[in-house]
Every structure is written in C-alpha cells, then in structure tokens.
Structure 1
Amino acid sequence: MNTAVLVIGGGYSGVMAANRLTKRDDVTVTLVNPRPDFVERIRLHQLVGGSHNPVHDYRNVLAGRVRLVVGSVARIDAARRGVTLESGDTLGYDYLVYAVGSGSALQVPGAAEFAYPIADLEEAERLKPVVAAARTVTVVGAGPSGLEVAAELAELGRTVTLVCGGVLGPYLHPRGRRSVARRLAKLGVRIVEDQQVTAVTPDAVRLGDGRELPGEVTVWTAGFGVPDLAARSGLRTDADGRLLTDETLTSVDDERIVAAGDAAAPSGLPYRMGCQSAVQLGPQAAETVLSRIAGEQPKPADVGFAGQCLSLGRRAGIFQFASKHDTANRFHLGGRPGALLKELVCRSTVQQLAYEARNPGKRDRWSKDGERRKLLRAEAVEVRL
C-alpha cells in the first residue's frame, strides 16, 4: 500500500524534501507550488540587473516520480489530512511537508504602495523595467539582498543610496564589512547607517531622524515574513508565523506534519533563513517522514553553516567564513575570487537539487553544528528558572 506525502512549496527545501522522499518506492509524492518553474531565489538581483535568468524547468531539478500541482494552498485540514487549494480543489495526504518559504515584509507606512520588494520572481520581474528607466535608486535594508541589489544596480550606472537599519551587513565580521564598504564606495553607493525608514512616499523615503532621501525608485529588502498558512489552519506558530516543531522538524500539534526551510521553527529557535539551511532541512524533513513510515524514531535535525557569500556586482563578491554554528569569523575571500566562488555556489546549489532527484539520499556533504545542543540545553535551563 502506498503512502501519500504532500509537499507544500517548491523552493530549495521543498524540492530537496520531495526528491529525498522518492527513496522509497511505496511513497507517492505530490509537490504543490504557485508557479510551474523552479526559481533560483539567490539570483533574483541578477534578474533585475539583466545578467541572469533564475528560472528552471522543474524537470531539471525534480525527480520524475514527483507529481507537480501548480496552485496555492488556502488551508490545511490536519484532522482530515487534506488541503484546500485556492482554486477550490482538494488534495489528501498521509504526511505533509510544510515548506512554504518566506516573502517580503512591508510594514512601514507607504512601503506596500510605493516600494518595490524583491523576495520572489514576480516582484523581481515587476522591478526590472522600473529600474531600467530610473537614474536614482534607494535600497532599504543592508542584509544580503540589499547589498547585492545595491551593487548590481550601481554597477549598471544607477545612482544608489543604501539605507541600513543598523550596520552595513550585520552578519559580517568587521573585516568583511570593511571589504564590502570599500567595494560599494568604488561603485559610488552612498551608505546611510543606523537609520530606520519610517515612511515611503512615491519619490522619497523618510528616516527616523526626520530627513527625507529623494529617489525615483525605492527597493525594499528589509526583513522577511512567512506566509500565514499554518496560523490560518489552526497550527501553532512562533511570533513571526513559523510553524512550531520539535527537533525532528515535526509539528508540535500533529506528527504527520513536518516542516522545512524558512517557515520552520524547531524548538522555537529557527535557523537562519536562506538556501544554505533550506537544502539541509528539506532532506531531513523527508527523513523524518520516512522514519515514521518505517516505524522508526526520527532523528533530530542537524544543520551546519559555512558562512555567507554575496555578489557585489558582476566582477566582485565576498565569501564570509563562519563557524558551523553560524558565527562569522575574521576570514573572508573578496574581490574577483569572491565573485567566482559565489557563482560556483549558485551553480552547485542547482546541481545539488538535480543530484538528489537522480540519487535520493546518496550524498550528504554538509558538516554539522555541535553547538545547537548546548544552546537548547541552556534555553531549557533558562525556561525552568
């Protein structure tokens, strides 16, 4: 008898989970995704700049046994083990993998009306012709997306102002941060640090100190939010809307629902959002499901980080090295070598998805983080106190 597993979300974690589930011949896998193609989210800034197309046919990254359903899930009915799509169609499941990812968070007055987010394909496609016709651009947010967009557009000749809510590249080690600042200065990017944007208008952003920065286009990269599907479906979430799970990525409400990627909050301590954690959590969510099908106890998830890599235009980049538990250290690779390494990472990520499609469960190259167990124990002590 076949076991039906439904995966919601066709990003990095969802594709990896769906592919890993095909390890068993008696598992039927269905992937639900709003669009018919896979999108390399880490290349969306290149789509805006016109240097790369991030769209791939799912046939190149998804196992042939996985059924693709193009649509969006409106509600999960855990009691009946089914989902309702926005089209009104319903799908049943024996197990569900919740991999809905993340999107833009536009909570500042005027941002939803006048700013251009860049968290998904449609937003990037909407932004591309707008910046092509503009001379001045304000980028709000100095995390990875903000840094990459600012550099990409400055290299194309736009006059760019980058507004940082705190410091430039908050993840980076101070040495890496100085390297990025030098590159942005070379490209002519004006950097405004330690300023929150309090409002967005059609032709300016207003700062916390009362100043207004004029600009023809405002690109919004400040923060990410997750879809409210879990909360809407009566499942418990953390304060940011991520599905609450235990360390095996299993929902605290239902052992037949397992989460992966940006929308998962194991033990209320979510991993850093991004493809680096997603490509590890996806297979591990699938392994939790496969263990339960086999009548075995699932293993806790284990994620290790290598650092953070950024492109800073087409001719430079940076790889900020970090400990496995995701703390940046003093070492980085910048300039042209940094750009080449970033490009290698982008290509290898897609190759990793394709490899998993052909060889589910055959390779796990990630080194793991031994510090999370200590953190969990410390959190437990703190809660008891």
Structure 2
Amino acid sequence: MKSSALVIGAGYGGLLTANRLAARGHRVTLVNERAEFVDRIRLHEYVAGTRDHATRPLATMLHHAVRFVQGRATRIHPGRTPAATLSDGSTHAADHLVLAVGSGAGLGPAGLDGATALRRQLHALPAGARVLINGAGLTGIETATEIATAHPALRVLLHDPAGPLPTSSLRNRDWLRQRLPRLGVDLTDQQAEADLTIDCTGFRVPALAAESGLPVDAHGRVLLDDTLAVRGHDNLWGVGDAAVMASRPLRMACAVAEPMGGHVADGIGRYAAGQPVRPFNFGFGLQCVSLGRDDAMIVFVHRDDRPTTARLTGRAGAWFKELVSTAAVVFPARFAQGYVWLGAPKRRPGRPAAIGAPA
C-alpha cells in the first residue's frame, strides 16, 4: 500500500526523502521557499569568490513524480492527516509530514542570504583589511582558509577561546595549529577589531517546530524518537539539522541529514505496509574539513564520531573532500532510491545493489 507524504524543506535530507519516496511509488509534495537547491557545504567557497554560485534549480534534481510547491511553511498542524499552512494562506495535507527545514537562519555563511551579503562585503574590502571569523569549528576553519588562500592581501583572524576544532583529537588540533598560519590564517583566543566579522559559532534552525507547538530542544530542534518520528506523533517525521533524536543527539551535517532522509522514507513505506518501523541505525565514517582549494584534513572516525589516528591531508585530502562534497548532491538527486549509509539495514537477496553514501 502506498501513501502520500508532504515534505517541508528541500535541503540534502528533504531532497533525498522526497525523491526516495517518489521513486517507490508514494505521492509526494515538496514545499520549499526557493525554487533552487542551496548547496550549503559550498557556501564558504561562494563567500570567498572561489565559486560563482552555490545553488541549482530544483527542477533538475527532483524525481519526475514529485509535486513541487514554492512557499514558506508557517505552521504545522498535527493530527490524523497532518498539514502545513504556507505564508500565502494555503494549506497542504498528506498521510505523513516530514519536517526537513534545515538550518542556516540568521547571518553568516550558514545560509544563502547571509553568504551573499558577506561575499559582497568581502570583495569590497581594500588590501590590508582585517577579517575576523568567530568560531573555529568545521565551518569557521573552512571559511577562514578559503578566504585567506583566495585573498592573500587580506589579514584573516580565526577566533575561538577553545582553539581550532575543539571536538577533534589533540593530534589533529596540533596539526591545525601548525598548518593554519601557513595558509594565511592567524589563530587568536581574544576578540579583535576587524573590518569584517563573520559569525561561525553555530547553526540556527527556523522556529517553525516551536511555533507549531511541537516538542523541541533548547535550540528549537524538533525532538524525535528512535524511529525519527516526532515524539508523540507517528505520522510526523524529522530530518536533518532542524531535528534531533532525544536519545542520541548527532551533529548537524549533510552526512547525518541524508541517512535520516533515507530512513524516514523507508519508515513511511513500512508504516504504510503495516510493518513496524525500525529504530534509526547510523554510524559516522569520516570528518572532512577543507583548507582552501588545495588542502584538506580528512579524519577517519569511529561510528560514534570519535577520531581515529588515521587521516588524509594535502592535495590528496583536497581531492577526497571534493569527491565527498560532490556526492552529497549527486546521491539525493540521482540515486535516492538505492542510497545506503553506515548502519542501514541489509538489503534482501535479489534486490539491486545500493549506492554507497558520502560520510
């Protein structure tokens, strides 16, 4: 038995969810504020000017059976047939609703609007101007190194009292402390005056779930049970940065959003068939950080995201990072039906082999 699904948001996770459901015969409506897909992991390149754009038309990425509605969801209505009201006053309903609105709200390179403003400001700076990036996590490091290598006439400062990549191993952090200055990035644990300040201190999610009365955590992310259903609602689901499992919080990343999307699509199929929905099983494999166009650090990690001692750097690391970033878009757009991830249930004998997943 097939069902209908309403997917709110067309980021990495929402796109994969919609395409996977449609490829398996479900009736799918996808709602997104833009008619373009925003390749968010490329936004630091767009800010620095090493990439001319970071979007592509959704029409070229959607399964032919997906019905696309351009609009902004302002309210989710739980119930036997969940629905969403859009800013134009229209309401759309389905058997299942998937909340996949992602993150990137506010200023900074995490969202397209903030990235566009920063790109304009950055390119207007004179030689010798100081650019301060607050936050030395993955996004902050990528933004700082991209700007420093693309604009050597600027002085780039990376500020974080905790130092670079606080969640990684001491070995990796020491390597970054040595490598970043060679790329033109000055590390500092103090705030400094700058001609342009860029906030990379964390992603922010839209307030849609909270304003709809759904259970959320302190960051506004909708709370999910172990099957990725919204707590207390078996026909509401969460995918990506705007959702979090109460039992196992995972970092915000497309490497998490896409497996969540695959699992939710499978869960809706099992629900429609009267079968129990399995708990979400997921493991990390890699943690990737680009360091400009010609360098990167690829850290091989345990399933729980703890770093191992293995890593790949230099041009080989940059090539590998580019491969992963490209796969993050190609898989949900072209191979959503066969997409698998580390921890996904094994496919039954006789079924086509699945496409591997980016980490």
- Within-5 A mapping of 1:228-243: 228-243=207-222
2:328 aligned residue: 349
CA contact (8 A) 2:298 2:313 kept: yes
Q: Residue 232 of structure 2 is aligned with which of 253, 267, 274?
A: 253
Q: Secondary structure at the match of 2:69?
A: strand
Q: Give the CA deviation at 1:2.
A: 6.2
Alignment partners' CA distance in 1, 2:344 and 2:176: 27
How far apart, CA to CA, are the structure 2 residues paired with 1:283 and 1:188? 40
Can you list the C-alpha shifts for 1:20-44, whole angstroms capped at 9, x where unaligned? Answer: 112432x210111111111111010
Does the 8 Å CA contact 1:173/1:320 hold for their aligned counterparts? no
Distance apart, 1:104 and its partner CA: 4.6
- Equivalent position of 2:27 in the other structure: 28
Pick from 144, 148, 173 the counterpart of residue 142 of structure 2.
148
Mapping of 1:1-385 within 5 angstroms? 3-25=3-25, 27-52=26-51, 53-79=53-79, 81-104=82-105, 116-134=107-125, 135-155=129-149, 156-157=151-152, 158-193=154-189, 207=191, 213-357=192-336, 360=337, 362-364=338-340, 366-368=341-343
The TM-score normalised by the length of structure 1 is: 0.84
Q: Deviations over 1:334-368 (max 9, x none)?
A: 111111111111112122122325xx1x241x222
Distance 1:24 1:353 in 2: 14
Aligned to 2:356: none
Give yes or no for contact 1:325–1:369 (8 Å, CA) kept in 2. no
Residue-pair matches, total? 338
Alpha-carbon distance in 2 for matches of 1:335, 1:347: 18
Aligned partners of 1:249 and 1:260 also within 8 Å: yes
Partners of 1:369 and 1:96 lie apart in 2 by: 22
Q: Spell out, residue by residue over 1:108-136, the C-alpha distance to the aligned partner (whole angstroms, 9 max, x if none).
A: xxxxxxxx511111111111010111221
Native 8 Å contact 1:243 1:265 kept in 2: yes
In 2, Cα distance between equivalents of 1:346 and 1:123: 21
Counterparts of 2:184 and 2:339 in 1: how far apart (Å)?
A: 43
Q: Gaps (5+ residues) in structure 1?
A: 106-115, 196-206, 208-212, 371-385
Query: SS of the counterpart of 1:214?
Result: coil
Equivalent AA in structure 1 for residue 289 of structure 2: L
Question: What is the CA-CA distance between 1:147 and the residue it aligns to?
Answer: 0.3
Asked whether the 8 Å contact 1:306–1:321 carries over to 2, the reply is yes
| Structure 2 contact 17–265 (Cα < 8 Å) conserved | yes
Q: Take 1:369 and 1:283, find their aligned partners in 2: how far apart are those partners?
A: 9
CA distance in 2, matches of 1:306, 1:269: 17
| Pairwise CA distance, 1:268 | 4.2
Asked if structure 1 preserves the Cα contact closer than 8 Å seen for 2:72 and 2:86, the reply is: yes
Cα 1:322/1:292, change in 2 over 3 Å: same
Letter in 2 for 1:288: G
What is the CA–CA distance in structure 2 between the aligned matches of 1:268 and 1:57, rounded to whole Å?
36
Amino acid at match of 2:42: R
Shift of 1:3: 2.8
Spell out, residue by residue over 1:307-333, the C-alpha distance to the aligned partner (whole angstroms, 9 max, x if none): 211111111111011101111122211
Aligned sequence identity (%): 38
Deviations 1:146-198 (A, max 9, x none): 001101111122201111141211132222222222221112321113x5xxx
One-letter amino acid of the structure 2 residue matched with residue 28 of structure 1: R
Distance 1:253 1:363 in 2: 28
| C-alpha separation in 2, matches of 1:23 and 1:163 | 46
Checking the alignment, whether the CA contact within 8 Å between 1:324 and 1:369 is kept in structure 2 is no
The answer to whether the Cα contact below 8 Å between 1:305 and 1:369 also exists between their aligned partners in 2 is no
Q: 1:316 to 1:24 in 2, by over 3 A?
A: closer
